[in-house]
A = this chain, B = another copy of it.
Amino acid sequence: MATTLSSVAEICLSARQASRQLAVSDTATKNAALTAIADALSERGEEILRANELDMQAGREAQLSDALLDRLLLDEERILQIAGAVRQIVALPDPVGEVLDGHRLPNGLDIRKVRVPLGVIAVVYEARPNVTVDAAALCLKSGNAIVLRGSTIAAHSNAALAAIASDAAVQAGLPAGCVGLIAGGGREELAELATQKETVDLIIPRGGEGLKAALEEVACVPVIYAASGNCHVYVDAAAELEKARKIVLNAKTQRPGVCNAAETLLVHTDVASPLLARLLPELHAAGVELRVDERARAAYADGGGGGLPLTDATAEDWSTEYLAMTLAVGVVDSVGHAIEHIGRYGSGHSEAIVTTDTNAARAFQLGVDAACVYVNASTRFTDGGEFGMGAEIGNSTQKLHARGPIGLRELCTFKYLVEGDGQVRT
């Protein structure tokens, strides 16, 4: 087993102790450990499948939904995918030691700002067992110890995966305790974890609003919430309507269940009729339920449209992250009104404008307060992989420390190294 420690505090303390050695481990050692983990996943595949079968059995008995059971399921191919993801992290550059800034002070002191690991990162996640290994690989690569807290329904799978990762990492030379798993998935364990401020540097919850609310109430350890994405596409008066159509269709329908999918379409009144008359039927044909304001309904009719089932959008629709094939549609008078609407209802995730007008593009980039602001592209690109950061552990919509994709660099902090030859302050 990964660990015989029982209490949350003990697991976190053990991770803290491991973090000191991890912080000074070189890239070759960390990569060797990740490769050993990937190898061990294949070698000990049967062990993983047996553990997963226990979870699946319990899940079926508990009458979990098919979707949830599918998220829980591991098979040989999925284990290979997990191992493949670890090997991809091996190939990423090590963020530790990167010099972010530096100069010589007037008194001759040389100062450098250098990226270093945070220390101990706790990751709280829900059903998918692959997160156990993904998160461990990202944390180890960035020189951090990890404390995992998965959900009860994946307890056996998570335990098997964490044990394999921990065993392989330790055999490859990383310190014991570098991968800790909290066995209990209850709210007591969560509350205990959220208050380990002496040993845990950061908690990253990967889950829904319920988990966020539960943590907000109790956490005194810093938390980076990967919160909801109520994303907008605004089609400006000066938009190329062909591009606008493709971007809206992509942002809404390419993968509607993820946080960077669009939930609201805003259209400038000048182009509302031609755009909506063409686009709404396409969205409907793709299976999208349409909730429109009065002006959008009128513009659609003015453009010659008709016959589609259009629901009236309510105030609630503007605030809702559907995560489903539903789109709210509104008409605005200017880019300023679009910015205002997004400021009021957006969640600061990903927002797009479609326009050929540099003034409109610039106003949108300046005025929209979000992690990612797009000009003439789909919101769906907000992703560590797409951004060239390699893998990501989540997407932050808060403004402190990490905003947008949380990759290896975002799992680090920095320190100032100052070198002199006897300087004192006068």
A residues lining the B interface (CB < 8 Å): 20, 23-24, 103, 105, 109, 111, 116, 118-119, 201-202, 216, 220, 222, 224, 240, 242-243, 246-247, 249-251, 254, 343, 361, 365-367, 369-378, 380-382, 386-388, 398-401, 403-404, 413-426
Q: Tell me which of B23, B377, B414 contacts A418 (CB under 8 A).
A: B377
Instruction: Give the distance to chain B from A242, nearest Cβ to Cβ, in Å.
Output: 8
What 13 additional pairs, Cβ within 8 angstroms, besides A376-B419, A400-B401? A20-B367, A105-B387, A111-B388, A201-B400, A240-B422, A250-B424, A373-B418, A376-B422, A377-B418, A377-B419, A377-B420, A386-B425, A399-B413
What are 26 A-to-B residue pairs whose CB atoms are below 8 Å?
A20-B343, A24-B366, A24-B367, A105-B381, A109-B381, A216-B220, A222-B222, A222-B400, A224-B400, A240-B422, A246-B422, A247-B424, A249-B424, A251-B424, A254-B424, A254-B425, A370-B415, A371-B416, A372-B418, A373-B416, A375-B419, A377-B420, A378-B424, A386-B425, A400-B400, A403-B414
Do B418 and A375 touch across chains, with their CB atoms under 8 A apart? yes
Q: Tell me which of B119, B400, B417 contacts A413 (CB under 8 A).
A: B400
State in angstroms the CA–CA spacing of A414 and B409 once bound together.
15
Do A422 and B374 touch across chains, with their CB atoms under 8 A apart? no
- Known interface pairs A23-B366, A413-B399; A422-B373 also in contact (CB < 8 Å): no
State in angstroms the CA–CA spacing of A425 and B250 once bound together.
7
Contacts of A401 in B (CB 8 A): 400-401
State in angstroms the CA–CA spacing of A426 and B378 once bound together.
10
Contacts of A23 in B (CB 8 A): 366-367, 369
State in angstroms the CA–CA spacing of A380 and B370 once bound together.
38
Contacts of A250 in B (CB 8 A): 424-425
Do A399 and B109 touch across chains, with their CB atoms under 8 A apart? no
Q: Tell me which of B202, B377, B414 contacts A422 (CB under 8 A).
A: B377
Contacts of A425 in B (CB 8 A): 250, 254, 378, 380-381, 386
Contacts of A399 in B (CB 8 A): 118-119, 201-202, 222, 413
Do B417 and A373 touch across chains, with their CB atoms under 8 A apart? yes
Do A372 and B416 touch across chains, with their CB atoms under 8 A apart? yes
Do A388 and B103 touch across chains, with their CB atoms under 8 A apart? yes
Instruction: Give the distance to chain B from A191, nearest Cβ to Cβ, in Å.
Output: 15
Select the residue from A224, A369, A381, A418 with max chain B CB neighbours within 10 A: A418
Do B254 and A119 touch across chains, with their CB atoms under 8 A apart? no
Contacts of A243 in B (CB 8 A): 421-422
Select the residue from A251, A380, A381, A388 with max chain B CB neighbours within 10 A: A381
Contacts of A376 in B (CB 8 A): 419-423
Contacts of A240 in B (CB 8 A): 422
Q: Tell me which of B20, B105, B369 contacts A386 (CB under 8 A).
A: B105
Contacts of A24 in B (CB 8 A): 366-367
State in angstroms the CA–CA spacing of A116 and B371 once bound together.
10
State in angstroms the CA–CA spacing of A247 and B426 once bound together.
11
Do A415 and B386 touch across chains, with their CB atoms under 8 A apart? no
Contacts of A246 in B (CB 8 A): 422, 424
Contacts of A116 in B (CB 8 A): 369
Instruction: Give the distance to chain B from A235, nearest Cβ to Cβ, in Å.
Output: 12
Contacts of A419 in B (CB 8 A): 361, 374-377
